[in-house]
Chains A and B, each alone.
Chain A
Amino acid sequence: MSSQIGNPAVLADVHQVRVHDETVQFKASSAVNLLVAMEQARESVIGIGCRGGGCGKCRIRVLDGDYETKRMSRAWVTEEDEAQGIVLACRIFARSDLTIISEPLPMAYGYQPGRSSSLQQAELK
């Protein structure tokens, strides 16, 4: 499949993203990365960091579905990880409906995983 990233000739599709074992679902346009799609849907199931593929905070595992990726830091996603569907949400673009699960690194000190469920409305104010 040829890349759709940044190709204005390809119209964006909207795909449904389901978070495994949770009630959370959100819609993701194929034109924006999955982390931004989650933010636009006002969800917070994935940790938000640099939004540029560098910090590893948005690490997830895609259990089902197709996606396209941009370059991700090998410090947080090894080739073996990538083969198993472990990716950085800020660097992938949905190409079908997806089922995902958060996959934070067993990181030390200072690491703050994303919240496990959606923000309550009250917290959004």
Chain B
Amino acid sequence: MKKGVMRPGHIQLRVLDMEEAVAHYRDLLGLIEVDRDDQGRVYLKGWTEVDKFSVVLREADSAGMDFVGYKCVNEGAVEQLRQELIEYGCKVEDIPEGELNGCGRRVRFDSPTGHMFEIYATKEQTGKWEVGNRNPEAWPRNLTGMKATRFDHCLLYGPNIAGTIDLFREVLGFDLAEQVLDGEGTRLAGFLTVSMKAHDVAFIEHPEPGKLHHASFYLETWEDVLRAADLISMTDTSIDIGPTRHGLTFRGVRRWRLPLPGPRTGDLGRGAAGQGDLLP
């Protein structure tokens, strides 16, 4: 049942070196740098995104993910879900408006897999970058790198994915799109959607809590994926896998995933994972 959660809205990543991370996310992936705040955090987005930002980078002494935020239809839905999260047993924290530049109040909550999530409804809408909504050209002329169009989803690793998947289905109104079971029927992976997308978040069972495997960004065509591949090789960027086709959620998803998070999933080089998923 839909509960008012619309889609992934933002992800805050910990990076070891801000200069290197900005070179990766802005110059290589081609995200747009839209703001910096007095904590030194850098805000970015894909050029097609109307909301002000979707990626926040924070310099820290270990790499990984601070939280992912999901956008809800309105403040009433956020308030209703906040109550339900408390009743479900989540530890809930209220983050005031403005803690992230241009973002309204957020409700942050924990999960069995050790990840922190947020829901919010209000964010400044600065429009599509450089094209706006009045007689727009087809695309901005001064994009760089892979020209990633928008934040798509993330894959998270942790223990007890069954618990987090239940939380997402029962409280937040996500649907389980696909899952991977072992020979005994134990769930090893689950892919969930809340929108019209193939998946909005995925979980894989793993003993270390709170890990990020990758955050992915959307590329529209196979040609874009190949061009991204050229840039990976031209910049000697670490690559995990790809392009591949996999059956999960959408037969024929082709992706580049970079740079390699390694087996220590989520502790990513330059705090970074970018992925172009192409849904043919």
Using a CB–CB cutoff of 8 Å, the interface residues on chain A facing chain B are 36, 47-57, 70-76, 90, 107-112
Contact size range, B: 20 to 34
Tell me the bound Cα distance from A107 to B64 in angstroms.
Answer: 18
B51-69: which have CB < 8 Å to A?
A: 61-64
Tell me the bound Cα distance from A57 to B260 in angstroms.
Answer: 11
- Tell me, rounded to whole Å, the shortest Cβ–Cβ distance linking A5 to chain B: 11
Residues of A within 8 A of B62 (CB): 54, 73-75
Residues of B within 8 A of A110 (CB): 206, 263, 265
- The answer to whether A49 touches B261, judged by C-beta atoms less than 8 angstroms apart, is yes
Tell me the bound Cα distance from A71 to B17 in angstroms.
Answer: 7
- The answer to whether A109 touches B267, judged by C-beta atoms less than 8 angstroms apart, is no
Residues of A within 8 A of B264 (CB): 49, 55-57, 75-76, 107, 111
Tell me the bound Cα distance from A70 to B270 in angstroms.
Answer: 12
User: When each residue 189-216 of chain B gets 1 if its CB lies under 8 Å from chain A and 0 otherwise, what string results?
Assistant: 0000000000000000011100000000
* 20 pairs, A vs B, C-beta closer than 8 Å: A36-B236, A49-B238, A49-B260, A51-B260, A52-B271, A53-B269, A54-B271, A55-B63, A55-B260, A55-B268, A55-B269, A56-B262, A71-B16, A73-B16, A73-B62, A74-B61, A75-B267, A108-B208, A110-B263, A111-B264
Tell me the bound Cα distance from A55 to B208 in angstroms.
Answer: 13
- The answer to whether B268 touches A109, judged by C-beta atoms less than 8 angstroms apart, is no
- Nearest A residue to B262 by beta-carbon distance? A49
Contact of B17 among A56, A70, A76 (CB under 8 A): A70
Tell me the bound Cα distance from A35 to B270 in angstroms.
Answer: 15
Using a CB–CB cutoff of 8 Å, the interface residues on chain B facing chain A are 16-17, 20, 61-64, 206-208, 236, 238, 259-265, 267-272
- The answer to whether A56 touches B267, judged by C-beta atoms less than 8 angstroms apart, is yes
Residues of B within 8 A of A108 (CB): 207-208
- Nearest B residue to A51 by beta-carbon distance? B238
- The answer to whether B268 touches A52, judged by C-beta atoms less than 8 angstroms apart, is yes
Tell me the bound Cα distance from A108 to B17 in angstroms.
Answer: 27
Residues of B within 8 A of A56 (CB): 262, 264, 267
- The answer to whether A54 touches B270, judged by C-beta atoms less than 8 angstroms apart, is yes
- Tell me, rounded to whole Å, the shortest Cβ–Cβ distance linking A48 to chain B: 8
Residues of A within 8 A of B208 (CB): 108
- The answer to whether A109 touches B206, judged by C-beta atoms less than 8 angstroms apart, is yes
- Nearest B residue to A47 by beta-carbon distance? B262
- The answer to whether A52 touches B270, judged by C-beta atoms less than 8 angstroms apart, is yes
